[in-house]
Structure 1
Amino acid sequence: METTRMTMAQALVKFLDNQYVSMDGVETKFVHGIFTVFGHGIVCGLGQALDEDSGALKVYQGRNEQGMAHVATAFAKQKDRLQIIPCASSIGPGAANMITAAATASVNNIPLLLLPGDAFACRQPDPVLQQVEQESSLTITTNDAFKPVCKYWDRVVRPEQLMTAMINAMRVLTDPAQTGAVCIALPQDVEGESFDYPDYFFQKRVHRITRPVPVPEEMEDIAEAIVKAKKPLVICGGGVRYSKAGAALEAFCQAFNIPFAETQAGKSACRSSSPYNLGGLGATGNLAANSIAEQADLVIAVGSRLSDFTTASKSLFKNPDVKFVSINISRFHAYKADAVKAVGDAKATLEALTEKLSAAGYRSGYGEEIAQAKAAWEKEMAFLAGYRYDEKFEPLIAARNPATIEEFVALTGGEVTQVSALALIREMLCDSDIVVGASGSLPGDLQRMWTTDTRDAYHMEYGYSCMGYEIAGALGAKLAQPEREVYAMVGDGSYMMLHSELFTALQERKKINILLFDNCGFGCINNLQMSNGIGNLATEFRYRDNGDSLRHDGALIPVDFAKAGEGYGLKTYTARNLKELKDALEDARKQEVSTLIDIKTLPKTMTDGYRSWWHVGIASTSQKEGVQRAYAEKEAARRQARMY
């Protein structure tokens, strides 16, 4: 047996450089590069290995460990999970910073390999700098905190253990049903220890991503359920995107006259212009999808994990006889909603099911309902595009506060409504441009209002709805598809929480465009608290007028985000009205450097729910009449919702 003596870290780099995936006969190098913020627990081990011989792996310099891991997650998502960028950090705070990103990847089923440094396996210098000590066990370090948010976790305490650890890491990362975050903790002394590694460990490995079809019995079960349905509705989930099943789903719906609606993860898997595409569904869904969903006697979930936003907390499907079918590569997700299940690849299953239903001569009982629902929503879209804040209009959301609007206008000069801005942006952007979002009220407006006929043009992280993902996500999408323009849709609150990787975008000369909606607060959560009878508490950006005051009850705090972005080296603009926004968008497209448009957006001008409900915890005892009313309404809705 031929062997090569090298350190554990050197062996890790060489192994990663030889991993490939194959899907539908197309082979792709699986590991693109490595993102890192070097610290003392990683720089002398993995850092030395990368410096000596990184092979074909690019090394990227992150600014914040959470941010760089979000970049890697977005990269893998935009690559349809066929390529990854592992992330390496020091021990302690560097590692802990990546825990949020690990959860984000796992919830969204996106492959993310994390390589945090760890305390010494030999324990000679314990406790080392940044080591968390637990009296109950000296084996516990910061990296144990990754266990609940990762799909696979390991710690390499001997150099030869690297081989089984990495084979198992690849098993999970390349499995469509199991993928998510993987953490391989690297004790800093072991990183530098040498071992005679067998050369076969470094051979080229091709991990095949296959298309399993459900067993015949399950195919019979779901076909039987569909044949009995008069008004079925298909849910297009993220699994449709990763299976590249958009065309198959459209063909399926057209063949049997079945409408379909999109989840946040599923949007852009299919063409928005399809006559059967109703758009976004659920708590952030639109009028067309939600009205049809209320009537459906069968819900066919394809590649969806059926989250509370998709099902409007299990209240959306109001037909008393409604049943569920679930097509999913994951048996865990397929079992949800007590569905008739078929465990298999979305594309392969839809194609097989199309043949089966065609042979049975099936067609749904829909008449003009689909076209009528779409026409009603188009009318609403036209209203939103032309919406201006004016007292004569009904509020788009219940928690309107005219005094705040007037104060905002006086401070910023802004007069742009969020919905009209989004309508203009959609009109101005090319269909192939990628929009990235994650948190606040923007995902709801985007799921309702955004349309595209280009695959993977809508990049929304809404499984974890992680504030701070947006700008890092835009960089990840740009690294994945550098030929396309990428736009980060981000609120001012999320921007201030985490925007460090915009500097990495500048460093890598990867142009991203930041569309920053500034409404002086956490507008989405402000709506939620005020519409449930709670006071305006710590969700708007206000001064504390009096040091003894319990509340931030002073004036709004304006921020010149354009000036701050200019200091980083971005090309920046401020848009206070639609003309300025239009001019900025036109000029930003001409730029080669990353851009930021500071859009002074009137508070309370986002869309509200369309015939949907979202279950949130509300106080059952309160002195406030508004809270009492909100609780009563919540309980009434809860009694009408499904339990499982």
Structure 2
Amino acid sequence: ASFVESTGIPVGQSQAGKGSLPYDHPQSVGAIGSTGTTAANALATEADVIIGIGTRYSDFTTASRTAFNNPDVRFVNINVASIDSVKQGGVSVVADARETLEALAEALDGYRVSDEYRSRTAELAAHWESTVDAVYKIDDDSLGLNQNQVIGLANTLSDPRDVVVCAAGSMPGDLHKLWRTRDSKGYHVEYGFSCMGYEVAGGIGAKMACPDRDVFIMVGDGSYLMMATELVTAVQENVKVIVILVQNHGFASIGSLSESLGSQRFGTDYRYRGDSGRLDGDILPVDLAANAASLGADVIRANTAAEFADAVKVAKASDRTTVIHVETDPRIAAPDSESWWDVPVSQASTLESTQNAYETYAQWKKIQRPFLRPSGN
């Protein structure tokens, strides 16, 4: 915060770095990469110098190496792990982040970004915040909720020091771009290997680490089915967590990815196998709220924003683990990051949707860069 306040350099945050600045800090432009904000990704596209602080430059963070498109871009990588410090062909600084930033601030004494650049940073950040406001908004409380609105409600109804925990599915990416982190320890999203089932177990660990904070576990139905039984541990050990169980009767993440690659969400709904032999029958009668109750947790079913708000109040006042069950439409997506993730598409197909997806894929591949180390660097 001190370094960027004095220089005006904007900050884009990876999943692991989210919370390094509060969401409304003047230099914060939010999440970066495939699951990032339009603000961070626009600035990354133009930047001539990227200072990577502790980042591993993962596939999502770099938008599969398409995020940094200035032809003269250079990287300075501050990291205690030498293997990460040399990524992107950058200048390697193997050192403690805080010590390095203090030394760099001293070396850059007097350096400031231009007023025009500050204004552009603020304008892009404000535009993204208005986008978040729009998807958080609920016009008709009698209608069902979508995942963006559930995230918005959880975000605004939680206290600044409360912790959100998530791990897999579509929700981590949506949280990365939409969740407004107000406390440096308020965001715990394990996305390194997209570990389905981590949520409840990880939330218990977060609560044990910080007993004075409420822990909101955001989990989709697919990930819940992987390891919901850890609710028994929470009940047995009296470790109170608040689980927001989003039931959309399928795999929203893979469904959306499948559709974007021209594959029509095949097999991504919880359905019976129909007469055709495909998974196109009726929706399965799965009741995950009843399942959670059978494991000893208090369960509240919420179908509207008002019911959800009341449920959060009850859960925060309780000393017991509470599961808030809410059904959503998996086909309402979060705002576009105007970015990319390299998932290959069939080059030859009779489906027009797949042919169109391949054309899009080929266009992005054209700007993908290997970032080999420049000679003499």
TM-score by length of 2: 0.94
State how far apart, in whole Å, the 2-side matches of 1:523 and 1:633 are.
Answer: 22
Structure 2 stretches of 5 or more lacking a match?
A: 372-377
- Which amino acid in the other structure matches residue 564 of structure 1? N
Residue identity opposite 1:591 in structure 2: S
Query: What code does the residue aligned with 1:486 have?
Result: V
1:287 is the counterpart of 2:38: yes
2:263 to 527, 534, 543: 534
What is the CA-CA distance between 1:304 and the residue it aligns to?
0.2
Opposite residue 615 of structure 1, the aligned amino acid is D
Q: Cα distance, 1:559 vs. partner? A: 2.6
Shift of 1:551: 1.2
Give 1:545's aligned residue: 274
* Counterpart in the other structure of 1:468: 197
Shift of residue 263, structure 1, vs aligned partner: 0.5
Distance 1:487 1:271 in 2: 18
The counterpart of 1:259, out of the listed 3, 7, 10, is 10
Aligned amino acid, residue 315 of structure 1: T
1:488-523 CA-to-partner distances (Å, cap 9, x unmatched) read: 110001101112211111111100111011111001
Asked if 1 retains the 8 angstrom alpha-carbon contact of 2:200 and 2:231, the reply is yes
Whichever residue aligns with residue 480 of structure 1, its letter is: A
Structure-2 residue corresponding to 1:408: none
Partner Cα separation in structure 2 for residue 618 and residue 387 of structure 1: 36
Give the drift of 1:622.
Answer: 1.4
Distance of 2:15 and 2:285 partners within structure 1 = 32
Deviation of the 1:434 alpha carbon: 0.7
Residue 483 in structure 1 maps to residue 212 in structure 2: yes
Q: Deviation per CA, 1:572-610, whole angstroms, max 9, x where unpaired?
A: 111111111111111111111101011111221231432
SS at match of 1:510: coil
Q: Is the 2:199–2:219 Cα contact (8 Å) retained in structure 1?
A: yes
The amino acid that maps onto 1:305 is R
Partner amino acid, structure 2, of 1:260: V
Structure 2 residue aligned with 1:555: 282
CA-CA distance at 1:271 after TM superposition? 2.0
The Cα of 1:421 is off from its aligned counterpart by: 1.6
Q: Deviations over 1:446-485 (max 9, x none)?
A: 1111122212110010111111111111011111112211
Instruction: Indicate conservation of the 8 Å contact 1:294/1:318, yes or no.
Output: yes
Change (3 A) 1:558 1:277: farther
Cα shift at 1:550: 3.2
Contact in 2 for aligned 1:468/1:494 (Cα 8 Å) = yes
Match of 2:374 in 1: none
Match of 1:630 in 2: 357
Residues in 1 aligned to 2:143 and 2:284: alpha-carbon distance in whole angstroms: 14
Does the residue aligned with 2:356 lie in a helix, a strand or coil?
A: helix
The letter for the 2-side match of 1:612 is S
Which residue is 1:579 aligned to?
A: 306
In 2: Cα distance, 1:543 partner to 1:555 partner? 6
Partner of residue 111, structure 2: 362
Distance 1:357 1:348 in 2: 14
- Of residues 317-326 and 504-513 in structure 1, the stretch that sits farther from structure 2 once superposed is 317-326
Please say if 1:495 is aligned against 2:246: no
Structure 1 gaps of 5+ residues are 1-249, 390-412
Does residue 434 of the first structure (1) align with residue 163 of the second (2)? Answer: yes
Residue of structure 2 aligned with 1:505, choices 212, 234, 255: 234
Report the AA paired with residue 5 of structure 2. Answer: Q
Aligned counterpart for 2:318 among listed residues 591, 608, 616: 591
* Contact map agreement 1:520 1:558 (CA 8 A) in 2: no
Q: 1:452 — aligned with what?
A: 181
Q: Partner of 2:334 in structure 1?
A: 607
The alignment's C-alpha RMSD in Å is 1.5
Q: Runs (4+) of structure 1 moved beyond 6 Å? A: none
SS in 2 for 1:517: strand
Q: Is the 8 A contact 2:244 2:326 kept in 1?
A: yes
> Structure with the greater relative contact order (CA < 8 A, sep ≥ 6): 1 or 2?
2
Within 1, Cα distance between the matches of 2:209 and 2:9?
34
- In 2, are the aligned partners of 1:414 and 1:602 still within 8 Å (CA)? no
- 1:67-123 C-alpha deviation (Å, 9 max, x unpaired): xxxxxxxxxxxxxxxxxxxxxxxxxxxxxxxxxxxxxxxxxxxxxxxxxxxxxxxxx
Deviation of 1:388 after TM superposition, in Å, equals: 6.3
Cα deviation per residue 1:234-289 (whole Å; 9 max; x = unaligned)? Answer: xxxxxxxxxxxxxxxx1111111100011101111322221101111111001211
Post-superposition Cα deviations, 1:140-172, rounded to whole Å, max 9, x if no partner, equal xxxxxxxxxxxxxxxxxxxxxxxxxxxxxxxxx
Aligned partner of 1:313 in structure 2 is 64
Alignment map for 1:342-357 (pairs within 5 Å): 342-357=93-108
Q: Secondary structure at the match of 2:61?
A: helix
Q: How does 1:385-404 map to 2 (within 5 A)?
A: 385-386=136-137
Q: Which residue identity does 2:76 align to in structure 1?
A: V
Equivalent residue of 1:423, what SS? Answer: helix
1:376 to 120, 127, 130: 127
Question: After the TM superposition, which residues 156-305 of structure 1 pair with which residues of structure 2 at under 5 Å, given as runs?
Answer: 250-305=1-56
Aligned to 2:375: none
Secondary structure of 1:311's partner?
Answer: coil
The answer to whether the 8 A contact 1:431-1:457 is kept is: yes
> How far, CA to CA, are the matches of 1:550 and 1:355 in structure 2?
68
- Whole-Å Cα distance in 2 between the matches of residues 569 and 504 of structure 1? 10
Q: Distance in 2 between matches of 1:458 and 1:344?
A: 25
**Contact map agreement 2:231 2:292 (CA 8 A) in 1:** no
Name the counterpart of 1:195: none
Per-residue deviation, 1:545: 2.3
Look up the SS of the partner of 2:68 in the other structure: coil
Percent identity over the alignment is 40
Aligned partners of 1:283 and 1:609 also within 8 Å: no
Equivalent pair of 2:271/2:283 in contact (CA under 8 Å): yes
2:108 match: secondary structure: helix
Distance 1:587 1:639, change over 3 A: same
1:307 counterpart letter in structure 2: S
Which residue number corresponds to residue 642 of structure 1?
Answer: 369
Q: What is the alpha-carbon distance in structure 2 between the residues aligned to residue 414 and residue 309 of structure 1?
A: 34
1:414 Cα deviation from its structure 2 partner: 7.1
Structure of higher CA gyration radius: 1
**Aligned residues of 1:414 and 1:600 also touching (Cα < 8 A):** no
CA offset at residue 387 of structure 1? 5.4
Match of 2:346 among 619, 623, 630: 619
Amino acid at match of 2:132: M
Supply the AA of the counterpart residue of 2:297.
Answer: L
Q: Relative to structure 1, is the Cα distance of residues 339 and 277 closer, same or farther in structure 2, using a 3 angstrom cutoff? A: same
Note the alpha carbon deviations across 1:211-241, whole angstroms, 9 max, x for none: xxxxxxxxxxxxxxxxxxxxxxxxxxxxxxx
**Aligned residue identity for 2:280:** D
1:258 maps to a residue whose letter is I
**2: distance between equivalents of 1:535 and 1:430?**
40
